Structure 1
Amino acid sequence: MAFFELAKKRYSVRQFKNQPVEDDKLKYVLETARMAPSACNYQPLSFVVVTDEAAKTKVISSYNREWIKTAPAIIVVCGNHKESWHRGDGKDHCDIDAAIAADHITLAAADIGLGTCWVCAFDSKKCHEALKLPEYIEPIVLLPIGYPEEDIQPQKKRKELDDLIRQNRW
């Protein structure tokens, strides 16, 4: 599939079929995340794949919405701020690296018929505890993943391109 068509196809899925995701498909999307660029190639990321129902319940308690309970798996994109690149002014690029990797996962998932939804508005401390993460690892994004209940292709609301572009200056 051409990249632009794939980008248009991807949408936030909030209702999943009661069907597990095959291990080879999970590995495929995680492999695309592994290939994602990171600042100075430091790769300060880890991916916790949560499929066990008891473990999922604990993670879901950090984002208690009914729809997420339908996801057969949740990929928790985690960052290591000790290993991430920090710009000269101190800006930490860990979250940016995590976002790029998460985006690779969402696009790869859409390419093979899976759906995802970015979840950032979760209780990071609760998720950290649920996964028993080391103190220096931060859960940055929850990505519920699975087969969409319906392939609805919602109309995406996007600004016009001309509203986003500035040429040579603001």
Structure 2
Amino acid sequence: MDFLELAKERYSVRKFSDKKVEREKLDAILEAGRCAPTAVNYQPQRVLVLESPEALEKLKGCTPYHFHAPLALLVCYDREASWKRSFDNCDMGAVDAAIVTTQMMLEAASLGLGKTWVGYFDPAEVRKAYELPDYLIPVAILPVGYPAADAAPAPFHEKRLAREETVFFDSFDGVKPGSREAGAH
């Protein structure tokens, strides 16, 4: 499958089978995250693999969107290791963690695994449950596993705005923030 086909075919899996993810596939997913580009190559991502029954049970106290996956990846960044933009001191750690998460999602899809990006979680509960130090900032939870036999994309999965609504050349002239012309839904 070529990349664009993979990008279009992948979907957020919200129902998983009980089948465990093989170590080789997990290793490939983690390698995809490890080699992801990060700002100034500082590599501030820190990924906690949640696979024991105890660790997965804790996840249920942090988010209702665990989907009973047999594996989850908690993607954080180390704010003491992330690059800060000199102009405004903007921390690029969340961007780096997002890139890492995206690459891991796409690798999982290429291996026939289901996954979904979960951003709806209580950071305080995540910190407490997994005893995260203050310098680690949780960004995403990635439940991973084999899709259940009846797993399917959400009804709106294929709904995409026209490219003209989201891509502009040379200028944003005439585009009103928050309007349909700016690509708002």
TM-score bracket for this pair, using the shorter chain length? over 0.9
Matched, 1:94 2:96: no
SS state at 1:141 partner: strand
Report % sequence identity. Answer: 38
Query: Gaps spanning 5+ residues in structure 2: where?
Result: 173-185
Post-superposition shift, 1:165? Answer: 1.4
Matching residue within 160, 163, 168 for 2:162: 160
Matched, 1:56 2:51: no
Post-superposition shift, 1:152? Answer: 3.1
Could you report, residue by residue, the CA deviation over 1:103-142 in whole angstroms, capped at 9, with x for unpaired residues?
Answer: 0011000001001111111001111111112221112100
Superposition CA RMSD, Å: 1.2
Describe how 1:49-88 pairs up with structure 2 within 5 A.
Answer: 49-65=49-65, 68-88=66-86
Post-superposition shift, 1:162? Answer: 1.1
CA contact (8 A) 1:9 1:153 kept: no
SS state at 2:125 partner: helix
Report the equivalent of 2:178.
Answer: none
Letter in 2 for 1:39: A
Provide the C-alpha distance between the structure 1 equivalents of 2:168 and 2:134, rounded to a whole number of angstroms: 42
More helix by share: 1
Letter in 1 for 2:82: S
Provide the C-alpha distance between the structure 1 equivalents of 2:27 and 2:104, rounded to a whole number of angstroms: 10
Could you report, residue by residue, the CA deviation over 1:73-122 in whole angstroms, capped at 9, with x for unpaired residues?
Answer: 01000110111010021110000000000000110000010011111110
Query: Gaps spanning 5+ residues in structure 1: where?
Result: none
Moved over 6 A (4+): none
Moved more, 149-158 or 29-38: 149-158
Provide the C-alpha distance between the structure 2 equivalents of 1:134 and 1:101, rounded to a whole number of angstroms: 20
Q: How many residues align?
A: 168
Report the equivalent of 1:142.
Answer: 141
CA contact (8 A) 2:13 2:115 kept: yes
Provide the C-alpha distance between the structure 2 equivalents of 1:35 and 1:157, rounded to a whole number of angstroms: 31
Post-superposition shift, 1:153? Answer: 4.7
Provide the C-alpha distance between the structure 1 equivalents of 2:144 and 2:116, rounded to a whole number of angstroms: 7
Provide the C-alpha distance between the structure 1 equivalents of 2:28 and 2:143, rounded to a whole number of angstroms: 16
